[in-house]
Amino acid sequence: MAESSRRRVPRSVRIADRLAGLVLGVGGSFAPFALAAAMFWLFWQADLLHPFADWSRVGGWLRGSVSLGLVALAGASPFAVTGALLGRGSDLVRLHLRMVAAVPLAVPAFLLLHWTAPWVSQRFGLPVQHPGWACIALAVGMVPPLWLILSDALERGGGISAAAYALGATPSQVMRTLILPASAPGLVAALLRGFSRAMGETMAVLLVSGNYASAWGGAGGAATVGAALVLDLPEASPGGGLWIDLMRGGLLLTVMTVSVYAVSDRVERRFRSGGQP
Amino acid sequence: MDILLARWAEAFSRIHPAWTLEVDGKGSRVAMRALERSGADLAALSSIPPGADFVRSGFPKPQGHLLVVVGWDTLRFRWRLGAHPDTSEIRPAYLGRESKLRPIGRNLSSGTRDEVRAAIGGTREFGSGVRSLPSPSQVAQAVASDPRSVGYGSSGWSLSRLERSNDAIQVRPLVLAFPAGPMRPAVAEFLSFVLSRQGQKLVADDGFRPLEPDSTAAWRARLGL
């Protein structure tokens, strides 16, 4: 049986499969070194002992990135949690979500910028580009991936809940006492990942935020770290004050996103291993 | 100053069809860097590079470059035609104070941003709520499209949908910078054209203040043109 199924796979497909595995394997092993090299370069360029760099400016960018991520997460979470709770187990929903989750965040941002924002601007006098739009775009773009991860997390309680229903528990009892506690680490990991992604997002933010140094971001001259890097890095003189500020912002943002992602990964591993460290 | 440079290049090419000029507009700091590192023939600046003691010496050569003043620019606040903003609110708006205005400025690497920042109160950075855009033309477009926006720009801004403030933020020289060493014939010819009556007329046509005739004569004599 195994021999016959093997014969059905064309040789070219098997070779391509092996090549793809090799490339992915080599790429995967190289990724940590690339990350370490990038971190080392950023650390070197950030010149933490340089006396003339402006920490308040870097702080403003970081506050912008973190607050944008938090607000977007706060906006996306209710929809993603509700959707995951109500739409669990539906293959059609999952398939649809996987397709939508693959769309870059810049796409909802672009649609907001060209359809929704001008309409709202004409009727209510709000600017077409504003940090609020960036929050909405990020929140809309974060719902599908969050929903998917949360669905996976909630699936964990599926077997237990069936047993609970058989013993006469109500849906709300099952949700409160079984599903949510069992999937809580998975929920936390999913939310942390969403936050990490939103914090580092650049293109969507630049498209719709208008690069206001907003009240939540403080007076750093840019909306977020990503926006500052994209707009000012090409024109900053290497070794100058602005360059060092940008490198410090990039370094801290990288450290923060990698740390948040590492924590979410650890939480998820513990969750999958049934609570064993 | 990009448009002025393009007009000079166009007029110069008509006089000397064999010589072509490629113009790239990225701001004064980038222009100086291009002059130092990428072998550009000249850089156009709307401010004196840091370190140059232009006023005291009258003919500085910071980092070996030759700087020639070819006109004057007046930096002013701008707003949409007919918007009539409360001008007393403009400076506080840039400092991040409560205001109905939406202030717009250039991004962090702009030298003009530093000049405006110093002029409105000497703060280290604009206040919160100020929008930063990467080019003067984007600032002009953003100001022209929003009646509550204010921006700042040089005399060269010529959008018909914009008005300017009466009081100037700063008057600054338009400078051409050349690499150290002997000037190439084509570059010397271009500089001669810029300092000619026709070149100075283009300066005036673009909204800047041209040099006085005796100043152009003095520059020509110093440069041996």
Q: Enumerate the H helices of chain B as residue ranges.
A: 2-15, 28-37, 54-57, 90-94, 111-120, 136-145, 185-194, 197-205, 213-223
8 Å CB contact of A232 and B109:
yes
| Stretch among A10-19, A237-246, B156-165, B211-220 having the lowest mean pLDDT | B156-165
Interface check for B86 against chain A (CB to CB < 8 A): the answer is: no
- pLDDT surpasses 70 at A7: no
* C-beta separation of A72 from A142 below 8 A: yes
The H helix count followed by the E strand count for chain B is 9, 7
Interface check for A210 against chain B (CB to CB < 8 A): the answer is: yes
Interface check for A235 against chain B (CB to CB < 8 A): the answer is: yes
State the DSSP H helix or E strand holding residue B68, giving kind and residue range, or none if neither: strand B66-80
Q: Residue B61's pLDDT is what?
A: 46
The minimum CA-CA distance between B107 and chain A, rounded to whole Å, is 7
- All residues of chain A having their beta carbon less than 8 Å from the beta carbon of residue B29 are 235, 237
Q: Residue B200's pLDDT is what?
A: 93
Q: What's the rounded mean pLDDT across residues A178-190?
A: 81
Size of interface A-B (CB pairs under 8 A): 71
Contacts of B4 (CB under 8 A, 6+ apart): B44, B71, B156, B174, B202, B203, B206, B208
Q: Residue B17's pLDDT is what?
A: 84
**For residue range A153-164, what is the model confidence (pLDDT) as tens digits?**
777 666 777 788
Interface ipTM > 0.85: no
Interface check for B146 against chain A (CB to CB < 8 A): the answer is: yes
8 Å CB contact of A235 and B30:
yes
Identify the residue among A129, A211, A247 best suited for mutation to test binding to B, counting B beta carbons within 10 A and taking the highest: A211
**For residue range B148-160, what is the model confidence (pLDDT) as tens digits?**
899 998 887 666 7
* 3-state SS class at B175: strand
8 Å CB contact of B134 and A231:
yes
Find, in chain A, the residue whose alpha carbon is nearest to that of B149. A127
**Which residue type occupies B63?**
Q
What is chain B's percent helix, strand, coil content, to nearest 5?
40, 20, 40
Identify the residue among B30, B80, B107, B110 best suited for mutation to test binding to A, counting A beta carbons within 10 A and taking the highest: B107
Angle at which helix B213-223 crosses helix B185-194, to 10 degrees, equals: 170
* 3-state SS class at B152: strand
Q: Residue B49's pLDDT is what?
A: 60
Interface check for A228 against chain B (CB to CB < 8 A): the answer is: yes
Largest CA distance in chain B: 57
Gyration radius from chain B CA atoms: 18
Pairing between strand B43-45 and B102-106? unpaired
Q: Which of A184, A185, A111, A107 is nearest to A144 (CA)?
A: A107
- All residues of chain B having their beta carbon less than 8 Å from the beta carbon of residue A210 are 131
How crowded is residue B158: how many other Cβ atoms within 10 Å of its Cβ? 12
Question: What is the full per-residue pLDDT of chain B (225 aa) written as tens digits?
Answer: 778 888 898 899 888 888 877 777 666 667 777 777 777 788 888 777 665 433 333 334 455 678 888 899 889 999 998 888 888 889 889 988 888 899 999 888 787 888 888 888 766 778 888 888 888 888 988 898 888 899 998 887 666 788 888 888 888 888 888 887 788 888 889 999 999 999 999 999 888 999 988 888 888 888 887
Choice between A104 and B64, residue whose per-residue pLDDT is larger: A104
Q: Residue B78's pLDDT is what?
A: 92
8 Å CB contact of A219 and B128:
yes
The minimum CA-CA distance between A176 and chain B, rounded to whole Å, is 43
**For residue range A54-68, what is the model confidence (pLDDT) as tens digits?**
788 888 889 888 988
8 Å CB contact of A221 and B131:
no
